[in-house]
A and B are shown apart, each in its own frame.
Chain A
Amino acid sequence: MLRYILRRLLYMTPILFGVSLVIFLILHLVPGDPARLVAGLDATQEDVKIVRSSLGLDRPLPVQYLSWLGSLLHGDLGRSARTHRPVTQELRLTFPATVELTLSATVVAVLIGVAAGTIAAVRRNSVFDYTSMVVALLGVCTPSFWLGLMLMLVFAVKLDLLPTTGRGGLENLVLPAVTLGAGAAAIIARVTRSSMLEVLGMDYIRTAHAKGLAARAVVLRHAVKNALIPVITVIGLEFGYLLAGAVVTETVFAYPGVGWLLVEAIGFRDYPVIQGALLLLALQFALVNLVVDILYAFVDPRISYG
């Protein structure tokens, strides 16, 4: 098992290197002088000169990359060109909000997805089955920013039940979490349904029925356990995609997370913040995938760690 984890970590290294290289190069691929980009649009000629020498932008690219990587490992991501605060501080302020949103969206997606998928499979070809699968199909195709606005329109503007924007208590989290989780819920529901259908057709389920177990017990105690194995992978994958989706949801609800920070930074061409936010999101995505793979090996003993 330990070997499997180590191998998985090793496999991640080149990917992380690739990502760090791409993010480092953002600054150099953008047309224009990188020193001016870092210093900000309102910087004077003097500022630009100072930035250029302090960041070593006059040195060869490979040297720059290594020193950038070095300061990265020391937790130094430079300063925002707009607020002049350290990028790490900007990220520390916004990151908890994104984690909170992504986690609650995952909870929403899993609860709705697993429940709907299970019921649809058990009552195959019923009205519930058809309705939930049509809704799931729509859920995959609906732009999340539109869904967010529609939920806002109904629950915040018309019914005045929930706040429209911002971050605060639980009531601020409901609409963003549902918006973000809806697409994932749709996918989880579809996977749960097909996995449940497969399991329900197996011999041991027939045996359980035959020995007189209540239908409820057969489904909840015997079927769900095995049907959820493929669902776990999907949940893990979706959790990663929710991180990217958070960029959109946070913008819709003016929810101050990393995604919102990223979009703002692109608008102001604040490159140190763009690099930091992208790096954080990418790192988080890679880590989530790693954790999912390891969890999966724990859950399903049939997976070899060799």
Chain B
Amino acid sequence: MDRDQASQHQTGKDRTTVDPLAVVSGFARESRSLWSDARSRLLRNPVAMAGGAVSILLIVVAIAAPYIAPYDPIHQDLANSLAGLSMKHLAGTDVHGRDIFSRIIYGTRISLQIGFLGMLLGCVVGVILGLISGYYGGWWDTIIMRLMDVQLAFPGLLVAICIIAIIGPGLENVIVAVGIFSVPLFARVTRGQVLSLKEQEFIVAARMMGAQDGRIMLNHLLPNAVAPLLVLCTLRIATAILTAATLSFLGLGAQPPTPEWGAMLSDGRAYLAIAPHVATIPGLAILITVLSFNLLGDGLRDALDPRLRV
């Protein structure tokens, strides 16, 4: 229902604008919804489709990790320490003889989990704050947006490190940290959407019909803010994954023997001269994942609204 409503409002706004020339010539363009327009634009963008395909593949790998990983990711085989790439160990082994390929597969699970959950946390909190800030305005708006400004005044990584310094290292805490540093962006985008929507007729009409504030915000305002939020969500997954890997690399995130990419890379540093693959492969995994979500996000942005710049 959300989607239909969203597209209807959007259609009412600008998507049905009929080409005057077409009317004159008797061929009015068939009206299409925002989403089907966006879908066809996205399908025509090969770079974004490639990003999307790899993203989906990564999600499948993450879900099916126990079935496709050839070895137990934390099983040690010290006789096979630091083995190179072979048919038996596709990506070699680390210093404890653990199969790096299996660890990368399980690492996909960890990284995507952090990326999705961190993004979701930032999205939920940010959207609620943005809705309140934009809808009620006044003091609510001032207080919430000033708080967001203070956080946005500093680089995300520094904010995340500060949060970890307070709540301590660990995987769950990394999710909280990347979630919190995403909050201001979601709040800002939501607030901007609410401000541009709340004086429009359909909102005024809803209010006249006696809809409660909460209902207006969730049923009428939020569905219309979905497009830019979706773009932001995709891009934030990439940022969250990269930041989480960075924190783990610094020793502030996943702790051994967790097969987290950043932590694996950090482990490989000591053996750079004798077994460079230990550090190289997890880095490639991070790069591919971040790149594919970024490409998908950029493509979604161009498809949903070419004017939009998050």
Contact = CB atoms under 8 A, between A and B. Distances in A.
A146 B291 contact: no
B158 A278 contact: yes
Nearest to B261: A143
B279 A15 contact: no
Contact of A157 (B164, B168, B273): B273
B245 A143 contact: yes
Interface in B130-159: 146-147, 149-150, 153-158
Interface in A141-165: 141-146, 149-150, 152-153, 157
B280 interface: yes
B251 A263 contact: yes
Interface stretch (A98-106, A211-219, A244-252): A244-252
Given A18-B150, A137-B291, A143 B283 contact: yes
Given A138-B291, A150-B283, A263-B251, A157 B162 contact: no
- Identify whether the interface residues of B are mostly helix, strand, loop, or mixed: helix
A23, A144, A146, A282 pick with most chain B CB within 10 angstroms: A146
A64 interface: no
A205 B150 CA distance: 42
Interface of B: 146-147, 149-150, 153-158, 161-162, 164-169, 238, 242, 245-246, 249-252, 262, 265-266, 268-269, 272-273, 276, 279-280, 282-283, 286-287, 290-291, 294
A178 interface: no
Contact of B246 (A30, A141, A143): A143
26 contacts: A14-B150, A15-B153, A19-B154, A22-B162, A138-B291, A140-B294, A145-B266, A146-B265, A146-B279, A146-B280, A146-B282, A149-B268, A149-B269, A149-B280, A153-B272, A244-B158, A248-B246, A251-B250, A266-B161, A266-B164, A266-B165, A271-B165, A278-B162, A278-B165, A281-B158, A286-B153
Nearest to B298: A137
Contacts of B286: 143, 146
Interface residues of A, number: 45
Nearest to A274: B165
A269 to B, nearest CB: 9
Contacts of B266: 145
A137 B292 CA distance: 11
A172 interface: no
A142, A274, A285 pick with most chain B CB within 10 angstroms: A142
A143, A149, A150, A157 pick with most chain B CB within 10 angstroms: A143
A138 B287 contact: yes
Contacts of A241: 155
Given A15-B149, A247-B157, A278-B161, 6 more contacts: A22-B162, A29-B166, A30-B167, A146-B280, A150-B283, A263-B251
Nearest to B245: A143
- Identify whether the interface residues of A are mostly helix, strand, loop, or mixed: helix
Contacts of B252: 263, 266
B143 to A, nearest CB: 12
A248 B287 contact: no
A110 interface: no
Nearest to A262: B161
A289 interface: yes
B158 A248 contact: no
Contacts of B273: 157
A152 B251 contact: no
B287 A247 contact: no
A230 to B, nearest CB: 13
Given A143-B245, A143-B246, A150-B283, A244 B155 contact: yes
A87 to B, nearest CB: 14
Contacts of A282: 154, 158
Interface string A269-296: 0010010001001100110010000000
